[in-house]
Amino acid sequence: MASISKRGDSWQYRVSYKDINGEYHTTSQGGFRSKSAAKLAASKVEIDASYGAKIDHANITLIEYWDQWLSAFKLGKHSNATESHYPGIRKALLSYFGPNTRIKDITRSDYQTFLNAYAAGTVAPRHKPKSHAPKKRARGTVRNLHQYVKAMAASAMDDLLISRNFANNISIPGSKGKDTALKYLQASDYKKLKKYCYSHADMTHMYNYVIAAGVDTGARFAEVIGLTWPDIDFENKTIRITKTWDWLSGGGFKATKTPSSVRTIEVTDDLLQLLRQLHRQQNEYFMRHGFRDPDQLVFMSYRHSVLRDGTINADLRRLLPSLGISPVITFHGLRHTHVSYLLSQGVDINYISHRLGHADVTITLRVYSHLLDVANKQQSALAVKALSNL
């Protein structure tokens, strides 16, 4: 039950409530400019109490709970690439809500306004070079932040700190981002890139070997540079992907992105021949310079190091225009191109899903729905032609 009283020039409430264990408690707050404002705040406390919220713990701020939740459920449990997003999300929350906003005081409208500002680039802004104009964020970037905050709010509900998830039923704002069609190459350019990399690969141009492996396997960058020579089965013409290389933190083996990413894939004779060439060059060079690689990395360069993601993408930005290939894609775009080409050749989506290391085909269907539309049109034409021949 709530009681409202005036204290000086302001109003205050006092609420008595019973917790889930049947014990009675009281809580109060003052400083309201009007009696109606105090009543409204008191009614919210009563509602929260009726849902079992921990009223006595409800003064925890958004940032305090974010830090607690992150420490308990996220830190140290994911890849460095994934965990690199956490500081940016915290910065955005702190920038907008400040250090003192209690998590229980955030409404759905407050959160939607925050997302709108984050999408517009006015929260934790990323300025363009030599400019102070806010840079808008893509919808995918906003969605990524939202998914973390929504999970945090759900945890706060489970902890009985809030009665409702303020991140539910939210509209995701943001710019469209890059056109999906710009992220993979057409078959003719795919072949042109492969031909160039095969013919120009050597120890001083290791990026050609790495790109060629990406073209022919569709593997992720960290999976490719994490390959060791025992992973290459020349006799059975397969490559085993069982680990990744932690390029983000300066090296060392790590687990694959998901358990389903551990897989064995079939590869072409061309790629195996190229890898034999690399192995021979590597052995000759390392013996000549008295170097031995204890990790037996396939793509260890003559400088006794492996390429980083940013380096290989810079090589692609330089190489593709020089070959007259458009659009310019990243290494991950080679993975999309690999899928696009296999679909165009009628390869079954279930096999492609396994080859990519997806947990199940629904992930492949979701990620590559735009490519499947093209493949379905081709299959539709074949079906109609076949039926017409009856």
Structural domain boundaries of the chain?
2-50, 62-158, 186-330
- 270-274 contacts: CB < 8 A, separation 24 or more? 270/198, 270/216, 271/212, 271/213, 271/216, 271/217, 272/232, 272/234, 272/237, 274/198, 274/201, 274/209, 274/212
pLDDT value at position 147? 94
Map residue 7 onto helix, strand or coil. strand
pLDDT of residue 76: 77
Say yes or no: domain 186-330 is CATH 3.40.640.10: no
Q: Residue 384's pLDDT is what?
A: 77
pLDDT at 98: 95
Task: Give pLDDT < 70 ranges for the chain.
Answer: 19-21, 48-58, 78-81, 126-132, 177-182, 370, 373-379, 382
The Cα–Cα gap between 127 and 319 comes to: 28
CATH number of the domain located at residue range(s) 62-158 in this protein: 1.10.150.130
What are φ and ψ of residue 102, in 5° steps?
Answer: -75, 140
Cα-based distances in Å from 295 to 226, 230, 243:
10, 10, 12
The number of helices, as runs of H, and strands, as runs of E, in the chain is: 15, 8
The burial of 193, by beta-carbon neighbours within 10 Å (0-12 exposed, 13-18 middle, 19 or more buried), is given as: buried
Q: What pLDDT shows up at residue 53? A: 59
Q: What is the pLDDT of residue 25?
A: 73
Residues 211, 91: Cα–Cα separation, whole Å = 36
Cα–Cα distance, 100 to 60 (Å, whole number): 9
Task: Output the pLDDT for position 204.
Answer: 92
If 0-12 CB within 10 Å is exposed, 13-18 middle and 19+ buried, where does residue 105 land?
A: middle
